[in-house]
Structure 1
Amino acid sequence: MGPIFGVIQLELRVKILDRENLKTDLHCLPGEDLRLQVRLSVASAEVKWFKDGEKIVDSGHTHLEEQGSLRALLLLGAESGDSGEYLCVTSDESCGFYVTVEEPPVTIVDKEDVQNTSAVLEGEEVTLTVRVSEPTAPVRWLRNGQQLSLGARFQVSSEGPARALTIRQAEITDSGNYTCRTTGDELHFSVQLPWSLFHSQPLVSAPRCVEFLSELHNVTVLEGECATFKCVLSPEDALISWQLNGSALTPDAKYIMSRNGLCHSLSIQQCRIGDGATVTASAEGAVTKARLRVQEAQVLFVKKLQNVIAEELEDVILEVEVSVEGAEVQWLKQGVVIQPSNKYTLETSGRRHVLRIHNITFSDRGNYRCESLHDKTQARLCVDARKVMLRTPLTDMETYEKETVTFQLELSHPGVEGVWTKDGIRVKPNNKFRVSANSCLHSLTLSAVTLEDSGSIVFTADNIRSCARLTVREPPVTIIKKSQDVGVPETVGARFECELSRAAAEVKWYKDGKEMKPGPHCRIYSTGRRRIVQLSHCRLEDAGTYTCDAGDCTASATLQVYEREVKILKELEAINIQEGDNAVFMCEVSPQDVRGDWFKNGENLKSTNRIKIRQEGSKHFLLICDIQMEDAGEIVFRAKKAMSRAPLTVAELPVRIVKQIRDKTARLKNRVLLECSVSKPHAQVRWFRGHTQLCPSEKYEMYSEGTCQRLIISNVCPEDEALYSCHTLHDESSARLMVEDL
């Protein structure tokens, strides 16, 4: 019993390449097309796309594309609902994309047509109007930089793209700067209320009382938290300003100011140690202050180290995430602080801290720890001997002489030394063989190959073995000289010839796509590199396209056969003949080798026992034997387009009575038969009783059978006794019928 081998089929691990350069945070405007794309390590691998956990399929809005190793998801005409998390999943890995479909900025249109300054009197009504670019977009109205509180006197309205603010029963305190603000634009108005024209003297208003009903309080927060200061200010329309260490604040992403009736607040986002300061709120002489204190936050590990098992010579990443952005941490191995070097790379990005260990060896095994001032985390690194696997095996190659061919395979690890052999002999690099290795790729290139280079190629490394077959073929046959189009008259020969690049090549000849075979009319042969088809005595049906097929290439040419002109030298002559005789028609044409056809009353005649057709040189004969009446008609001879006609007239033979009628005696009420025979079968006859012609009825029955003509008289009575006769056109016969009583 022979050796038994086990075959293990290894599936290639499908990886997403170049992940560090992938743009995973994507933004676009509504209506734009957006493309999400990855490149795989295996070109034939399949991927699945998901959005927020639901599988995506091809549709009019989403389109899945595959091109080589690229896999892409195309969002056509993005909508706001397309925002979310997208996931590309292979059999081994996945990659996430975050898509945001941003609303387009809303602008204020026709600003130049807006009246920005309005002067009104107390008690009057004023309306401020703008038009925005998006009919459904919201707007905010502000007075002197503060959100405007709506009520019975301040009303807003919208109609399509128009937005309006109406101030009813205007008061002196309504004077100021009004702003209409959208997400991407704003427009300012100035409203002025002069003293009433009806007052004879200027009005003197008493100073109003502005006071803080609830003052600011000191706030202490941890680093990274938000600090909020609140106060209550009366009256409601009093304007408040905020200061930090005496410097005026303006609203932005860090400093958020808000108002709700009498309540005012200032929120300071993402507080830092250096943000500790005095916060001041002032309004028309009223002032309140408070102190902001920021304490250092504890640096805790929100993502701890995980144990890692890796193969030697790989790069290992140990990663943690801390609770405070920018916090300092320290890496240690077996209690010894790790410093950046060729072996170790320390990276920090926000709250993420990474330790990269390059080209690990067994000496890198052990416990690794990351410490902050308030927390620590530890994990163990285990190093296994590397297991070299074959990712992409060698494939069989087929090429032509003098070409260059490259065998290539991919291993799971870079830097692996291998050996190439051809037909069991180790390959040594020279002018013909070139061996190269680039990372995981190993290749063998053969230059200017010959037929003798065909054989087996083997690559071996560690426990890896991959084989392939090299097949070298002769260069493809080409047609050096193609056959030319040919035009010949009928009966003349034609020749098609092609010259090939190689003498030993086989070809096939085709006419109109059907393979040709040698025959009496067609000769197919070859001479050296020439391939020839010879046609003799060309006919009209030989016209067409003739193709020489050499397998790798073809050449075609057309044959035109010109029809010869046929002339009638002697026309057909009319024949008047008697029934039963023979008729001979003769027509003479030129040229003499042309074929012709005979027709009678439009029906093509063929040779039979009675009809004989023959040709003697230029003369064509038609013989019709034993002429019958139905042979009469027009005889036509046609050769090509030439035609001759002549009538055939048949004279009928006289019908004679060859067997006379005999006298008969019949009894009353019986039937009696009178019969005679004529010279022609089925001849037309008439029966008479005396001089009266008889017609078929219940009394008389007449019929013929061949040459026999019969008359049957039924239910004989005394009145039937008479002389009966049978008449043809040329003869007659009579007999007497006598009737006896019973």
Structure 2
Amino acid sequence: MPDGAKSIAELSVKGTIVRKLPRKLEVLEGENAAFCVEVEDDDMEVHWFKDGLKLHETHQTILKSFGKTHILVFVNVAYQDSGVVTFVTGRSKTSSRLKVKAMRHCPPICPVGVKMDVDRPNSALLTWVPAPNSQTSTRSIFVLERQEVGSQEWQKCFTSESSSTSAEVAGDSVPCEGDYRFRVCCINKYGRSGHVEFPKVVHLVPGPKIRSRLQEREVVEGEDARFFIELSATMVGTWFLNSTQLQHGGRYSIQQEQTQHTLVIHETRVKINLLFLLSLACDGWFSCIYYASFFAAAVVKFNPLSELDRNKRVHMGDTVVLYCEVSHHFAKVFWLKDGQELQPTEDLNIQSDGNMRRILRYFKSWFHVHTRVPFSPAVNILPVFPGAPVEFCPVPEEELHKSSMELDPVVLICHVSKDDAEVVWYKDGFEIEPSDNITLQAEGTMRRLIIRSAEASDAGSYTCQAGNNSVEANFTLLVLSTYTEPPVMIVEPKNDVVMKSYISEDIHLQCELSRSSGKVRWFKDEQEVENSDKIQLISEGPYRRLTILCASAEDGGEYVCETDGDTVFFQLTVSGLYSLL
């Protein structure tokens, strides 16, 4: 009518489809989605389509017909399987919107039954029990943290797989003496549970660390032998010689200066074994025992060598002469290279002239040599030969760029050209030391760096370097977070909405999301809706709104608000205004 009034009727045309598809079907990820249609006759030609593409039977798409009934099943659907399914026979068709919803995964539940047993010297046994209704299909770990009383900082001290529900914390594991409390939580790829604090506090004392260990000594008979050991803390120690406790005085000089203990044995005569014990006030003898041994030698000495004779540098291919002078002309010496005794060959000439001992060789490769007199201390003659450079075998490209999920192990591997080559690993330019989480291995020519449980902080650039030649194998590690943010759900409305409005009115379709950062897409009759002069898409906090300005009858239809994990339908009807004249 000229004044805008309308009269609207709905036309239904009966076709050959007796039982249509549902308007929409929602299933969870991993489930099967089944569609069923019934037609008039048994022998009708039918076709199934998804998003306009014809479907054929595969291991994940099942197409079956039983007389007048036709079935389509999608097996083990994923989120990307969402779309419009259409059944066509002749000129008739029916459609359904398939929505695959992400499964709701929750963070793990706090452990229960926490107990602390402190009835043991300088340690505590912590036990807990997994939550009764915790997920068993998802890999999880327990993380134990400690806090010194008076401090606000919690530090991770122990991690275990979900099968392990206890941990013993000893005094050696804490940095300083103090009272400590503990807490435990559970972590899986969906998040972290809350922390459960253990009910007691335990006093822990760190054990002494050896900063400088006892070294084996070889001395000439009649000379003094000096030993020292340095600890990380000032403690009382006792020296034993051949199982006999030593006292200061006579042949033995015993001193202690704070953390350093020193023993000097004057006029050594025979081979002896030396033992150093620490006495701890809290639990008696310290459990670690440190040995050092030395032996006296026949009175055969080497005359001092000049620095130039002790350290030689030669060019490849040059003839090298190494010599030393002994105190007695009858002294027999042995020449050794890398621990192996040398024998005369065509290229190697070993000479003895009075007190002089000499070796001549045409060197085809670089190596180190030292001499040893029987029953005498070793005297090293170390020619400073720059060893043949260590080379790295090519590393496959896929091994140089690695990615890992949090908590998963990571192994970096490279091969060097020598079995005895020493390498140093660096991360972002800083040298890596072995730890509870990092293991460095050398096996033949293989060099491995193993990260037992990767964390976000382990991501970066790793370098394996050998020698001074800066020969490097570079690795890049990316650690992906195992925490998956839950999908955005629609809080309101909870069910589909049927709306009626009138021509020329402004119409508002609104959803409230579970997260303000969530994104939505709007559809009208399966076509995505964009901002325009007539339609406004508004986002305010958790609310998403579609506004139709000055609605007309053509604006009626099915509207869909879709997130990454949920969908709601609006069935909108726009009718005319009738004038009662």
Larger relative contact order, structure 1 or 2 (CA cutoff 8 Å, min sep 6): 2
Structure whose CA Rg is larger: 1
Confirm or deny a common fold (TM above 0.5): no
Under a length normalisation based on structure 2, what TM-score does the superposition of the two structures give?
0.24
